Amino acid sequence: MTTLSNTEKQIVENSIRDIKDFPKSGIVFKDITTLLNNKEAYGILMNHLYQRYKEYHLDYIAGIDARGFIFGAALAQMLSLGFVPIRKKGKLPYTTISETYALEYGTDEIEVHIDAFGEKKGARVLVIDDLIATGGTANAAATLVNRTGARCIECCFIIGLSFLDGIEKLQEKTDVYSVIEVN
């Protein structure tokens, strides 16, 4: 399994911009738009993900709405795999299954098409998103994948906020990998 060199890790980390007090006071938002428009950092990241997952014998990459689409679709193409979007409720046009998860104030819901992973039972799926914080969305996504008859092999995040308990909770369900960990 490959890891980023210290230099590569610095390039990727330095390309992520911190926005203080967004979306509300006290939060430091990790802005990946600056990673995406930095061709060197984005190239290093995507090559690293390709090298990591090329021997996982995956069948699909599933990206969580919406930033997971950016990394997931690109990685799926690099690995010659199909890409499956996991969307917010009401955004997919065909028959779906959904999973509700808790937010700070209330709940939200994500969906996937019932036939998203084809007819192959036990299809091996990597779920990807930009960041894991409390893990509600990621847990719901892994649950959805498994409910379709496929198997969530691992959840991958560009940034893992390890000072929150999302990674720990998700590890009860599947393997978890974060390229960059923020303590």
Query: Domains (ranges, CATH) in the chain?
Result: 6-182 (3.40.50.2020)
What amino acid positions are annotated as catalytic residues? 67, 104
CB 96 within 8 A of CB 113: yes
The angle subtended at Cα 138 by Cα 37 and Cα 75, nearest 5°, is 40
66: Cβ–Cβ under 8 A, 6 or more apart, which residues? none
pLDDT values of the chain reduced to their tens digit, one per residue, 183 residues: 578 999 999 999 999 999 999 999 999 999 999 999 999 999 999 999 999 999 999 999 999 999 999 999 999 999 999 999 999 999 999 999 999 999 877 899 999 999 999 988 899 999 999 999 999 999 999 999 999 999 999 999 999 999 999 999 999 999 999 999 998
Alpha-carbon gap, residue 133 to 125, rounded angstroms: 21
pTM of this structure? 0.96
